Amino acid sequence: MLARKVLRRIRGWWRIRGGFGSVGSVSDGGDIGDGPKPSWRYGIERGTVTAEFAVVLPAVMVLALLLFGSARAVTVGMTCQEAARAAAREIVVSAESGGDPSGVVSRIAGSGASVSVSRGGTEVTVTTRCPVMPGPLGILPASMTGKAVAILHE
């Protein structure tokens, strides 16, 4: 409140004097108030904050959406990798019974996750694919994959 009063007084002084450079200097031979009038008056700047806010707000919103979307993609990627690791461990631990890697993946990564298992000799490779909520303009990936390799005991 005090700052507004001070600014109003400064602006009023500016209007009366005609600007800082024209206050009766000896070099130009003028009196107080002679010289060029100020180019702005009180009230001309009204609405500039609203206009600047209207320009900046969409940019801030896009940046926030990209930030939240990329954080979601990273979280889903880590969960998908964890699901692949747990499914590979499930296969190794229950090698005789075969295990249920799809059940483990759906418990960890959700029901939308898919799993594929490939066996090669003493190795088993588990690949999981987890859906990510697609972001605006398709910038973020639609799904993340996780891959884990385990060695079967004989």
pLDDT, tens digit (0-9, with 9 covering 90-100), for 13-27: 445 544 454 444 444
Q: Chain-wide mean pLDDT for the chain?
A: 77
**Does pTM surpass 0.85?**
no
C-alpha span between 111 and 76 (Å, rounded): 13
The answer to the question of residue 68 being in a domain is yes
In a domain, 114, yes or no: yes
* 22 within some domain: no
Note the Cα 76 to chain centre separation in Å.
Answer: 16
77 vs 39: CA distance, rounded Å: 58
At 134, give phi and psi (nearest 5°): -65, 140
127 lies in some domain: yes
Residue 129 lies in a domain: yes
Residue 12 lies in a domain: no
Per-residue pLDDT of 27-73, as tens digits, reads 445 455 555 555 555 556 667 778 888 889 999 998 998 888 888 88
**3-class state of residue 146 by DSSP:** strand
Is residue 117 a contact partner of residue 91, using CB atoms and an 8 Å limit? yes
Task: Decide if 18 is inside a domain.
Answer: no
Whether the CB-CB separation of 130 and 112 falls below 8 Å is answered with yes
In a domain, 27, yes or no: no
Q: Which residue has the tokens 């969960």?
A: 79
Q: Which residues form the domain of 83?
A: 57-153
The count of domains in the chain is: 1
